[in-house]
Structure 1
Amino acid sequence: MTSQWTQDKYHKKALKEGFRARAAYKLTEIQKRFSIIRDDDNVVDLGAAPGSWLQVLQALTHGRIIGVDLNPIAPMEGVTTVVGDFTTPEVQEEVRELAGGVVSVVTCDAAPKLSGATSYDQARAIALGEDALGFAVTLLKEGGNFLCKSFQGEDFPEFYAEVKKHFRSVRTYRPHASRRGSREVYIIAKNFKRSGDDA
């Protein structure tokens, strides 16, 4: 079980090692365990600000790395950023062009601003995950991978089932770097299967 000391440990470690947020260690742990990113993959990170996952991706792939967020992201070498709403066709087409038409992996560590009302926040988080899944289904190449943060709650099983419709391997994982008491869980979906209904 994580503790307040663990939370402080990851926060201090991020500062010491130059990561923009402690979330960097979640992606590092998931990659070590599930190998979702190969060294030549083009990766799109949704809700990428402030950019800690982009920093990790720099060390994982020599492919194109694209970060998308409503807010500007401080520049970093080897990373292209797009300011905009990833649910819009305009942003999706811009990303497709930047990726040279091939998106191998879509990651999303985004979360809505929390109101404190558990059921409401969980529903908004699931909706955000559904938007990320829609993006992935639209742009991913056949056999591509999808990693998305979600939150446990009454709406989660339905969302998880929807992800399973599009990928041959789907599982959940909670990294050690997650905060104590958080309901967050990550969906690791591998081997995208494009259907005739997918854009």
Structure 2
Amino acid sequence: MTEPPRKRMVRLPTGGSDEGRAKPARLKTAKQRTPSSQAWLERQINDPFAAKARAHGYRSRAAYKLIEIDDKFHFLKPGVRVIDLGVAPGGWTQVAIERGVTHIAAVDLLPVDPMPPAHILQMDFTDPECGPMLIDLLGGPPDLVLSDMAPNTVGHRQTDHLRIVGLIEVATAFAISVLKPGGAFAIKAFQGGEVGDLIQKLRLDFASVKNVKPKASRADSSETYIVATGFKGRRDAPDAGA
């Protein structure tokens, strides 16, 4: 007597979310792409933080870097004034708004879709007119300056390194010149001798300076974040050291 066919005990998967586990995806075609751009695209597709960002409506995976930083330092809250340097595409400002910040001024070289109530400038932050414009849009000095800026690279290691260092120096000088006493500063940096120099410099002006590597920063990246809190006030102010 012939046995009836056995029922399948395990069903094939029928779907899933952007956050579910999946076999690493490969792009079907690499036509007109360089190997480096092909690798970057495949990494984006398979990146769990990029998938979470898509699922949760964040404009970039960088949102999770600021979420982790703020969960530790708690500087995003209703009533504070925030300046976001290098805002594009907007992930950090999204997080600030989500956490109750209503006074935000931001800037980037690239165009950024509106994010009310944030005021967004499209201009070069190193333009001397940019800083005063940000303060004017904010309605006063900030409690927090955020910088996720990175320079446009040219592929020449030494030139690109100098651009990174220069941008960090300009952002740091800006933060120290505009922050309210007690304020905070968080900036993207890259592991190297300059990080140690930056930490030592910031310790002159802030009560606490920490080096933070968020989980959303890729393990193979030299990217890190320096978080300085408890701004002591401008040393050249009339009552400084009084």
Q: How far did residue 149 of structure 1 move?
A: 0.5
Residues 42 and 5 (structure 1), Cα distance of their counterparts in 2 relative to 1, 3 Å cut:
closer
Max radius of gyration: which structure? 2
1:92 corresponds to? 131
- Name the counterpart of 1:173: 212
**Runs of 5+ unmatched residues, structure 1:** none
4+ residue segments displaced more than 6 Å: 4-7
SS in 1 for 2:150: coil
Match of 2:117 in 1: 78
Matched to 1:69, the amino acid is: D
Deviation at 1:160, TM superposition (A): 1.8
Question: What residue in structure 2 maps to residue 26 of structure 1?
Answer: 65
Whether the 8 Å CA contact 1:143–1:190 is kept in 2: the answer is yes
Identity, % of aligned positions = 38
**Equivalent position to 2:49, from 10, 15, 39:** 10
Aligned counterparts of 2:195 and 2:71: Cα–Cα separation in 1: 25
**Structure 1 residue 131 corresponds to structure 2 residue 170:** yes
Distance 1:39 1:119 in 2: 42
Mind listing any 5+ residue stretches in structure 2 that lack a counterpart? 1-42
Contact 1:86 1:135 in 2 (8 A): no
Q: Deviations over 1:74-105 (max 9, x none)?
A: 11121110122223332111111112113110
Give 1:110's aligned residue.
149
**3-state DSSP class of the match of 1:68?**
strand
Pair 1:56–1:19, CA change in 2 (3 A): same
What root-mean-square deviation, in Å, do the aligned CA atoms of Structure 1 and Structure 2 show?
2.2
Q: Which has the higher helix share?
A: 1
**Cα distance in 1 for residues equivalent to 2:102 and 2:181:** 17
Structure 1 residue 171: Cα displacement: 0.6
- Residues 177 and 234, structure 2, Cα contact 8 Å, conserved in 1: no
**In structure 1, what is the Cα distance between the partners aligned to 2:160 and 2:53?**
27
Question: What corresponds to 1:155 in structure 2?
Answer: 194
Deviation at 1:174, TM superposition (A): 0.1
Task: Indicate how the Cα distance of structure 1 residues 174 and 120 shifts in structure 2: closer, same or farther if over 3 A, else same.
Answer: farther
Report whether the alignment pairs 1:164 with 2:189.
no
Deviates more, 1:5-14 or 1:136-145: 5-14
Give the match for residue 187 of structure 1: 226
- Cα separation, partners in 2 of 1:165 and 1:88, compared to 1, 3 Å: farther
Give the letter aligned to residue 80 of structure 1.
H
Aligned equivalents of 1:123, 1:163: Cα separation in 2: 20
Instruction: Give 1:67's match in structure 2, choosing from 88, 103, 106.
Output: 106
Q: Write the letter of the residue equivalent to 1:37.
A: L
Q: Identify which of 87, 102, 120 aligns with 1:48.
A: 87
Q: Which moved more, 1:109-118 or 1:141-150?
A: 109-118
**Bigger RCO of structures 1 and 2 (CA < 8 A, at least 6 apart):** 1
Q: 1:198 to 1:74 in 2, by over 3 A?
A: farther
Contact map agreement 2:112 2:120 (CA 8 A) in 1: yes
Determine the structure 1 residue equivalent to 2:18. none
Scaled by the length of structure 2, the TM-score of the pair is 0.74
